[in-house]
Amino acid sequence: MYRVTVQLRDARRGASVEDTEWWASSFKTSPEWRDVVVPFETLRSISETTDGHLDLGETRGLFFVLDAGNMRPGTAGVIEVRGLEFCAAKR
């Protein structure tokens, strides 16, 4: 199993070199197929400065980062994404 970090970046002047604030949450992979849900409210800013507000209307990028810290040299594998959905919170 490996850890994958989901990063969503929204535009915010001065937050980084790219003028984006980075928001992240992570999950572990598994050998079995499964659905993974990452609610927007679980995303936490990993930027040095934050305004504390994830602005989905200003989204500039979505990234999946594989944590290589626990992998042995030469490790190989496949992570398959079969579908990606963005859903509004249920009220």
At 24, the pLDDT band (50, 70, 90 cuts) reads: very high
Residue 23 predicted with pLDDT over 80 = yes
- pLDDT tens for 72-89 read 888 887 878 888 888 766
pTM over 0.85: no
Rounded distance, CA 33 to CA 12, Å?
A: 36
% of the chain with per-residue pLDDT over 70? 93
CA distances from 42 to 5, 24, 62, 75, 78 (A): 12, 8, 15, 30, 26
Other CB atoms within 10 Å distance of the CB of residue 46? 13
